[in-house]
Structure 1
Amino acid sequence: MSGHSKWKNIMHKKEKSDAQRAKIFTKIGREIAVAVKEGGPDPASNSKLADLIAKAKSNNVPNENIERVIKKAAGGQEKSDYEGIIYEGYGPSGVAVIVETLTDNRNRTAGDLRHYFDKFGGNLGQNGCVSWMFQEKGVIVIEKAADVDEDKLMEDALEAGAVDVNSDDEVFEIFTEPNDLHNVRVALEAKKYNIISAEDERIPSNYVHLDNEDDIKHMNLLLEALEDDDDVQHVWHNWENEGEEN
């Protein structure tokens, strides 16, 4: 698992999303609304909602925004009926791309995504065309602070149900099975670890390095277009040198 590379990707996205806070709030709000409709408004009995509230707070979403979305969804005031659809395709030079969406109009979303891929040197593929290259894992990112002992963290994480721990210069990454993410996060929070993020992720089994300047430019533009689309919740890919400029 490429912990260091993944963390750099998170940092790259975080820097960009800070300038688009309203859009990030909207996307997380949409996820929260769906979780409330599916599992109820109480995070104590809806672990998915609890995880999304933690995600919202880590992205600096104000508490009143979170409470407003939950109340609206619980009261049936959220009229949009969002459907989760996963799209798969290829970017320039065969970079594998998975796009997770929540949409109230699948025809619009499919058309927009096909346009982005075609415009920037890729193509939208069939379901399953690239997902076999990725492994679903829960990933918890913890700040590497002076008072965090790596051996003790590893012991606590594995005891809580984690399957692996990675370390780099800036953070620790705790890997779990998807169904164990919530319990491991809660256990580590109880031990006062500073959790930066905790989400289900799709981790590629291998990475593609782009050397051609046009490919790098177009891959950056493709990712920007996808992440700017309101229907797109997550984008996973196996581009190793993400964020490089042409």
Structure 2
Amino acid sequence: MSGHSKWHNIQAKKGKVDAKRGKIFTKIGKELAMAIKNGGANPESNSKLRDVVAKAKAANMPNDNIQRAIKKAAGEADTVTYEEIVYEGYGPAGIAVIVETLTDNKNRTAGNVRHAFTKQGGNMGSTGCVSFMFQKKGEIVIEKSDSLDEDELMMLALDAGAEDFSAEDEVYVITTAPEEFGTVREALESNGLEFLEADIKGIPDTYTAIDEETAVKFQKMLDQLEEDDDVQNVYHNAELPEGWEG
């Protein structure tokens, strides 16, 4: 189903990612700050910090920027006041949506998220209304190349503790349990592999097929949420139409 193809989604997002790179780096900076506040500024002893650094690298955040962000966050660790809040609800056509936020003003964030839902015909629900439809999984996406042997990569990933390995379009997708994500990611990194995506995310159990009219509305909702500085991640179960570019 092309609507949730990893390669399709990466291609569709690329132009927007390039245009919003500064905003994405700012959001990753907030995750670095939270990781450092909770576990210290040494990546060797802070596995969550190592995971966020890997996410930053997958987003093409330059190493200098990463190191500056870590240094800045370490200096401000005592003053970080972000609160992690998760919102759930339904987009147009009943699409299940989970919105993860880091905020210093939950009233502002709740209002902004609710507005994004309702403006496009959705509605924000209560905690747990859609989260049962998703599983938390580590997901690592690697672009195919002539220098990568599929069988060797699969064995490396599975031997390191991955749950699943699949070849899809132009990418390989490696899935892990959340607690094994860091171990698998580091095993792949130690073999010189680079990632298109590397994060723990909400993966839907089933998908909701939508038509182009609904996809236009839903894309506007996603854009509004992703523009919000407090929103870190958005997960959904929409199966977008064939060839959809967003």
TM superposition score category, shorter chain reference: over 0.9
Report the CA distance between 1:121 and its aligned residue. Answer: 0.5
* Residue ranges of structure 2 left out of the alignment (5+ in a row): none
* Partner in structure 2 of residue 240 of structure 1: 239
Report which stretch shifted further, 47-56 or 219-228. Answer: 47-56
Counterpart of 2:18, as a letter, is D
User: What are the within-5 Å matches in structure 2 for residues 17-28 of structure 1?
Assistant: 17-28=17-28
In structure 2, do the counterparts of structure 1 residues 83 and 177 end up closer, same or farther at CA, with 3 Å as the change threshold?
same
* Partner in structure 1 of residue 164 of structure 2: 164
* Partner in structure 2 of residue 114 of structure 1: 114
* Partner in structure 1 of residue 230 of structure 2: 231
- Cα distance in 1 for residues equivalent to 2:40 and 2:185: 21
- Cα distance in 1 for residues equivalent to 2:101 and 2:10: 19
Report the CA distance between 1:188 and its aligned residue. Answer: 1.1
Residue 208 of structure 2 aligns to a residue in which SS? coil
Deviations 1:171-206 (A, max 9, x none): 100110011111101111112223222110111111
- Cα distance in 1 for residues equivalent to 2:142 and 2:212: 35
User: What are the within-5 Å matches in structure 2 for residues 196-215 of structure 1?
Assistant: 196-211=196-211, 213=213, 215=214
* Partner in structure 2 of residue 76 of structure 1: 76
8 Å contact 1:163–1:177 — kept in the other structure?
Answer: yes
Q: Does 1:14 align with 2:21?
A: no
User: What are the within-5 Å matches in structure 2 for residues 29-178 of structure 1?
Assistant: 29-76=29-76, 79-178=79-178
Aligned length: 245
8 Å contact 1:72–1:78 — kept in the other structure?
Answer: no
Counterpart of 1:205, as a letter, is D
Report the CA distance between 1:88 and its aligned residue. Answer: 0.3
Report which stretch shifted further, 5-14 or 91-100. Answer: 5-14
8 Å contact 1:39–1:46 — kept in the other structure?
Answer: yes
Report the CA distance between 1:2 and its aligned residue. Answer: 8.7
Residue 140 of structure 1 aligns to a residue in which SS? strand
Report the CA distance between 1:43 and its aligned residue. Answer: 0.4
* Partner in structure 2 of residue 221 of structure 1: 220
Deviations 1:26-78 (A, max 9, x none): 00001001100000000011111111112212222233322222222222367
After superposition, the CA RMSD in angstroms is 2.1
User: TM-score under structure 2 normalisation?
Assistant: 0.93
Q: Percent identity?
A: 57
* Residue ranges of structure 1 left out of the alignment (5+ in a row): none
Residue 238 of structure 2 aligns to a residue in which SS? coil
Deviations 1:212-233 (A, max 9, x none): 62x2221111000001000000
User: TM-score under structure 1 normalisation?
Assistant: 0.93
